[in-house]
Amino acid sequence: MATTTVPAKDQRVGGHAERHLPPRQWRAYGDGVDAATTERFGALAGLIASAAVGVPVLLEFLAGTVRSPGWIVWLWWGCYLGYLAAFALLGQVPADRRPAWLADRPLLAVQVTLGALAYAFAPADGWALVLLVVTAAAAAYVLPKRGTIAVVVVQMLLIAGVTFRTEDDPLNAAVSVVVFTSFQAFAVLVIWSQQRETAARARLADAHAELRAATTLLEASSRTGERLRIARDLHDVVGHHLTALILELESATQAEPTSDSSHVGRARDIARSLLGAVRGAVTDLRDQPPALQDALADVTRLPHLRIELSVEDGLDIDDATSLALVRCVQEVVTNTVRHAEATTLSIEIGHDGNGAVLLDARDDGKGTARLRPGSGLNGVTERIDALGGSVEFVTAPGRGMRIAARIPLR
C-alpha cells in the first residue's frame, strides 16, 4: 500500500463570523504555531486573574481584619472556590472529555451564579469585580451574542445595586458602574473581534482548499485530454501514412524483381514494425490510468486537518471512476472540515477482490445521533450511484463518521 500523510497545523476550520464558537472549537481555532495552546493559555490567564481575587481576602482573613460576619466569609469562600472550579473545567478541559452534566452552558451558568454571589458578598472591596469581567469573556465564547449581552446586562445591574447601596456619593457610584461595565464590554468585544477574524480566515482557507482541488482536477482533465489528442493524431496521421507506405512497398516488391528488392522488403518490414509500435503507443496512451494518488494528495493537502491517505499500489481504474473518486474525496474532506470538528481524517482506496474499488473514509470528530446529509454528502451519493456503486454513511455521537463507498470496475 502506498500511504501519504498530509501534515496539519493545530487548527480547524468552521464556524461563521456572525455566530459564536463553542469552547471546543475556539480552543482549536486561530493561527500561529499552536492555536489550541494559545487559547488554553488565554483561559489560564483568566483563571490566574480570578485566583488573584482571593489573595487580599485570604490576607485579611489571616490577619483577622475581615469586617464581615464569619458565616458570610465562609459563604464567600464557597462561592469563590466553586467559581474557580467551574471556570477551570470550562477553559481547560475539552467538552468531549467531560460528562454531559458538565457541558459548557451548565458550567457557565454555575460560573455566572457563583461569580455574582462572590461579588455581592465580597469581604474585600473592588477585587471581586474581576470575576464579573472574566465571566463576561467566558460568556462571549459559549453563548450567542444575545445571551452574552444578557449576561453583561445582568452583571451591570448587580454592580449598580451593590455600588449604590455601599457608595455614599451617587456620582461616584454611577461612574463605577459605567467603568466596570465598560471593562466587561471591552472583554466581550475583543472576543467577538477575534472570532470574526478567525471565521474569516477559516472561510479563506476553505475557499483556498476548494480552489486547489478544482485546479488539480482541471489539470488532470487537461492532461487526459492532451493525451487522448496525441493518441488520435498518432493513429490518424502517422498510422495512416505508415499504412500507405507499407502498401507502396508491397506493390514495389510484387513488381519485376530488381537488385534492390531485398532493400524494399526490409523497408516494408521496418514500416510494419513501426506501425505496430505506433498502434501500441496509441493503446497505451488511451488506456493509461490517471495519476490518482497525485490528484488525491493535492485535494487533501490542507493546513488545518491531519489527513492520512492510503492508495493501493497498481490500482487500475478508468478516467470516470478516477474523477468520481477525487470528487468524492474532496467532498468528504470539505464535510469533515466544516462539520465534524475532527483532528484526523483517514482515507483508504483499493480493490475489494470482487471486481470493485472501495473508498473508506473515517474521521475522529464529534459524530451525530441523526445524520442529515447536505449537498456535499448528497453529491457523493449521486456520483457513486451514477457509476452503479453504493455508499454508506455511519456515525454516532462522539464516535466520528465513516463513509464507505463501492464502485464496480468497468
Judged on CB neighbours under 10 Å (0-12, 13-18, 19+), 313 is: exposed
How many CB atoms within 10 Å of residue 348?
17
DSSP class of residue 310 equals E
Which residues are within 8 A (CB) of 213 and not within 5 positions of it... i.e. 6 or more apart? 298, 299, 326, 330
CA distances to 129, 140, 154, 224, 258 from 192, rounded to whole Å, are 21, 7, 19, 48, 96
Give residue 117's identity as a one-letter amino acid code: L
Buried b (16+ CB within 10 A) or exposed e, 120-149: bbbbbeebbbbbbbbbbbbbbbbbeeeebb
pLDDT, one tens digit per residue, over 80-95 is 899 999 988 888 887 7
The residue with cell 487580599 is 56
**Model pLDDT, residue 152:** 93
Angle between helices 129-142 and 170-233 (to 10 degrees): 30
Q: Which residues of the chain have pLDDT under 70?
A: 1-39, 65-68, 123-126, 202, 205-206, 209-210, 213-214, 216-217, 220-221, 224, 231, 233-242, 248-249, 252-266, 268-269, 271, 275, 278-291, 303
173-193 per-residue burial string, b: 16 or more CB within 10 A, e: under 16: beebbeebbeebeebbeebbe
Residue 362 corresponds to which cell in the numbers above?
A: 473515517
β-sheet bridge partners, residue 408: 356
The helix-helix angle for 70-92 and 129-142 (nearest 10°) equals 30
| Integer Cα distance of 380 and 211 in angstroms | 18
Please state, in angstroms and as integers, the Cα–Cα distance from residue 110 to each residue in 49, 80, 89, 102, 150, following that order: 18, 11, 11, 10, 15
Query: What CATH number matches the domain at 290-408, 1.10.1270.20, 3.40.710.10, 2.130.10.30, 3.30.565.10?
Result: 3.30.565.10
